[in-house]
Amino acid sequence: MKITHSKTASRRSHHHASIATVVKTETGVRRKHFVDPVTGMYRGKQILALAKAPAKVAKTTKKKSVKKEAVTKVKKAKPAKVAEKKS
């Protein structure tokens, strides 16, 4: 007996792909139930041995303040003295 397209489609209606859920971590976001690629940690345990320790991710507010400090230091710096030629 032939199975109709409608019957086949309704049987397969739950086969669609879903969006992967993500979890917020100290280094950013990662997929749920996956090892963190930056730190190599999973559920509080070190799973992957990485060559060097990851650096902590700085918050954007700190980066802005560092940039502001650098700009103010440049503005406060005295200009170099220029020797004038006497003719």
Q: 85 lies in a domain?
A: no
Chain centroid to Cα 47, Å, comes to: 20
57: nearest Cα among 79, 73, 41, 39? 39
Residue that has been written with the tokens 């200009």 in this structure: 79
Q: 10 lies in a domain?
A: no
Q: What domain range includes position 38?
A: 19-75
Q: 45 lies in a domain?
A: yes
User: Could you list the pLDDT tens digit for every one of the 87 residues in the chain?
Assistant: 899 999 999 999 988 888 889 988 888 888 989 988 888 888 888 988 876 655 665 565 555 555 566 555 555 555 556 566 665
The structure tokens listed for 49 are 């041995």
- Contact between 29 and 21 (Cβ < 8 Å): no
Give the number of domains in the chain. Answer: 1
Q: 28 lies in a domain?
A: yes
Q: What is the pTM of this model?
A: 0.39
